[in-house]
Structure 1
């Protein structure tokens, strides 16, 4: 007897994605509120040997961007979209690279919110915060809401079939915009960061 026959058909429910999107929105808003009320400080952050925390974040964010692209390719391959035979190691590699990308994202997100906060409106010197920085900060908070949604989508057996690809696509898009409005912008403006002392 198959497992499906033993347990009966799985009932798909819209409550799963709705609950996940609600929980993700709460996480994103709470991070945004923290970013606004927290007094930014470099104390408690690390530069990993780079000249500044920002330069460290550029390098780690670039690694995240590469891992996210690999996640997209791996996901498309696993779903059969690429039309190639799926190797046995791909599922494990996809999960490991996703976990590494998530850990690095938490590390960079912590550094951003702790050291810079969420900048919107006007800076202390009276200058307006650039639109790029506002978009980066707001969508950076949204990334962690999307992480919640994606984790629910991966673990839920009761969610509709569209939920996992939509959750993965949303997380991919948000992460890529955040990387493009930070690391890619920095490299285009100031060049590739160098390690301190080199």
Structure 2
């Protein structure tokens, strides 16, 4: 009986990773074929779309760190047991992070597209921009994988921490190659720097 249960439980992570890969690929294809436009975007009260994306990306980075700390606390990796509110806070902050990721990803893809190769003038796209764009698409696929991991009760025990670790890593790299890079190069949005 245990032999039959194992392959069935592996179907959940396999299906999740396939679905995540398909979503990442579709997002990337959309980013390549879509003509970037500011029409259909919002600044959410910030001066520019870039300012909004930088600030929201920093918020996502902070939420990702809080997600990691909350998960470690919930799973007993700290010396004190997690109070009951930590689980609720972890779920709410995770949902907020996903919503913000979707908002930022939409604005990245809609306003900028997925830039690879060379710009229209023949100038090569910087490596940081390519890495950020490709990993941003993979990040959206990883969100799909993590949502499946959280919702599934039949997946093996390793699936949720692996999905969470993958998502956390991608968030960190994507935020470092976007918001952190921007702040280092131009200053905090609205502080008088480029924008």
Alignment TM class, shorter chain as reference? over 0.9
Structure 1 length-normalised TM: 0.91
In the TM superposition, what is the alpha-carbon distance from 1:47 to its structure 2 partner? Answer: 1.5
Structure 2 length-normalised TM: 0.92
Please, which of 155, 165, 184 is the counterpart of residue 169 of structure 1? 165
Larger fraction in helix: 2
The match for 1:45 is: 41
How many residues align structurally? 188
Distance 1:64 1:107, change over 3 A: same
Specify the SS of the correspondent of 2:9: coil
The match for 1:97 is: 93
1:72-126 C-alpha deviation (Å, 9 max, x unpaired): 0001111111221110101100000001000000000000000000000000121
Please, which of 156, 163, 166 is the counterpart of residue 160 of structure 1? 156
Unaligned segments of structure 1, at least 5 residues = 1-8
Separation in 1 of the partners of 2:28 and 2:156? Answer: 30
In the TM superposition, what is the alpha-carbon distance from 1:10 to its structure 2 partner? Answer: 9.8
Q: Root-mean-square deviation (CA), in Å? A: 1.7
Distance 1:129 1:162, change over 3 A: same
Residue 69 of structure 2 is aligned to residue 73 of structure 1: yes
Check the 8 A contact 1:11/1:158 in 2, yes or no.
no
In the TM superposition, what is the alpha-carbon distance from 1:158 to its structure 2 partner? Answer: 1.0
Unaligned segments of structure 2, at least 5 residues = none
1:132-169 C-alpha deviation (Å, 9 max, x unpaired): 00010001011111011111111111111100000000
Please, which of 54, 60, 64 is the counterpart of residue 58 of structure 1? 54
Specify the SS of the correspondent of 1:65: helix
